[in-house]
Amino acid sequence: MTLLNLPADKEISQIEETALFKTISSEKISKILAICNKVRFREGDTIMREGDEGDSIYIILEGTVEVAKNLILKDGDEGEENRSNKVFTKLKADDHPVFGEIALLENAKRTATIKALTDCLFYEIRNSALRALVEEDHELGFRIMYNLATIVSSRLRLADEEVVKLTTVLSIILKES
Amino acid sequence: MTLLNLPADKEISQIEETALFKTISSEKISKILAICNKVRFREGDTIMREGDEGDSIYIILEGTVEVAKNLILKDGDEGEENRSNKVFTKLKADDHPVFGEIALLENAKRTATIKALTDCLFYEIRNSALRALVEEDHELGFRIMYNLATIVSSRLRLADEEVVKLTTVLSIILKES
């Protein structure tokens, strides 16, 4: 992981494409850029681990990451817990997706493990810096929190659909057995 | 459904207890109260139906509601879809929980069906009125959207846990068969 300092001119458009920073004026985007650090990870690096404390959010500028969650499988009669990872999704740089953003809300634990599938370049934003910014500029705070709620809400919709699908499959299996 | 007009004095504390309006000053709570309508529903009434367009949010002042979602079950060889409701949770007036709040974010469809299990009294807030308010007062908007993102995020956490549990059960069943 290395820190780079590059000029911030053409970078405003990258930030504007990020779902978390939609409908925010260029002037306010500059304030966000001022607290972004560019960080690189190598193919195979783990960027965050499920269960860890989270204190940064990331925006993908280059590369692809995978998002994986633990499954808990009971093994043998002793019922020891055996954790195996399931890959839920991949995120690519195309729309500059954000991850780790839940930690903006609470000092919550990471809900997934994120690994670099290729060499990656991210913007990293410390929560403490972003929180200070949104408390100082409430319009910016309003837009970011609206976007964050929208992102989380669309993830909730997908998770809810998944629950309904899995419950349906289970009830069919249990009916047949 | 009847509309009541009551004085707004002791009602500020009820609104302050609602997760959506936490950490908001009493002065700003008054602005919210000004756009709340009191509405009553009778035991057995359906307050919202999954799939309908949503244009209001509700805060429970008195009574209990059930939250149910459709399960899709294929029936017979023709594979006709057969929808059956599963009750996911009940909400009671205790902490003045909010429901329907996803519609604040987008003109999204209701994600669950809500029925009154007892006679109920709610505050109803039209989305259009609340949207106008948060665009006019960005500090209020920031606090509400922060709270909304937090509510949705904790629901996402529960849904994610449910997905992991169900996937784990399914993989055990499929391993054994």
Q: Name every residue whose Cβ is closer than 8 Å to that of residue A126 and which is 6 or more positions away in sequence.
A: A35, A55, A56
Torsion of CA A167, A169, A173, A175, to 10 degrees: 60
The answer to whether B19 contacts chain A (CB < 8 Å) is no
Two structure tokens written together for A166: 């899995």
Pairing outcome for strands A98-99 and A56-62: antiparallel
Average pLDDT, rounded, for chain B:
85
Return the pLDDT at B47.
96
Q: Of B74, B105, B169, which has the smallest distance from its Cβ to A150's Cβ?
A: B105
pLDDT at residue B13 in the model: 80
- How many angstroms away from the CA of B12 is the closest CA of chain A? 23
Q: How close does chain A come to B113, measured CA to CA in Å?
A: 14
For position A137, what pLDDT does the model report? 97
pLDDT tens-digit profile of B17-57? 888 998 899 899 999 999 999 999 999 999 999 989 888 99
pLDDT per residue as tens digits for the range B84-126: 667 778 899 888 888 988 878 866 788 889 999 999 999 999 9
Residue B10: the pLDDT is 67
One digit per residue, the tens of pLDDT, for chain A of length 177 reads 445 555 456 677 888 888 899 889 989 999 999 999 999 999 999 999 998 988 899 999 999 999 998 776 555 444 455 566 677 788 998 888 889 888 788 667 888 899 999 999 999 999 999 999 999 999 999 999 999 999 898 888 888 888 888 988 888 888 877
pLDDT at B72: 67
Judged by CB atoms within 8 Å, which residues 105-134 of A form the interface with B? 105-106, 108, 111, 134
SS3 state at A49? coil
| A86 → chain B, closest CA residue | B164
Measured between CA atoms, how close is A55 to chain B, in angstroms?
Answer: 16
In this structure, are residues B111 and B54 in contact, taking their beta carbons and an 8 Å threshold?
A: no
What is the separation of C-alpha A102 from the centre of its chain, rounded to a whole number of angstroms? 7
Rounded to the nearest 10 degrees, the angle between the axes of helix A26-33 and helix A127-136 is 140
Instruction: Name beta bridge partners: A81.
Output: A74
Whether A172 sits inside 8 A of B145 (CB atoms) is no
Asked if the Cβ–Cβ distance from A170 to B166 is below 8 Å, we say: yes
ipTM over 0.85: no
Give CA angle at B53 (B145, B81), nearest 5°: 120
Is the distance from CB of B151 to CB of B98 less than 8 angstroms?
A: yes
Q: What are B134-149's pLDDT values in tens digits?
A: 999 999 999 999 999 9
- Contact A86/B167, CB-based, under 8 Å? yes
**CA distances for B134 relative to A143, B105, B142, B145, B177, angstroms:** 10, 12, 8, 9, 55
pLDDT score recorded for residue A14: 80
Task: Please report where in the chains the tokens 């606090």 appear, as a residue.
Answer: B143
Looking at CA atoms only, how far is residue B146 from chain A in angstroms?
A: 5
- For residues B97 and B19, is the Cβ–Cβ distance under 8 A? yes
- The answer to whether the CB atoms of B102 and A153 lie below 8 A apart is yes
Question: What per-residue confidence (pLDDT) applies to A7?
Answer: 46
- What pLDDT was estimated at residue B74? 53
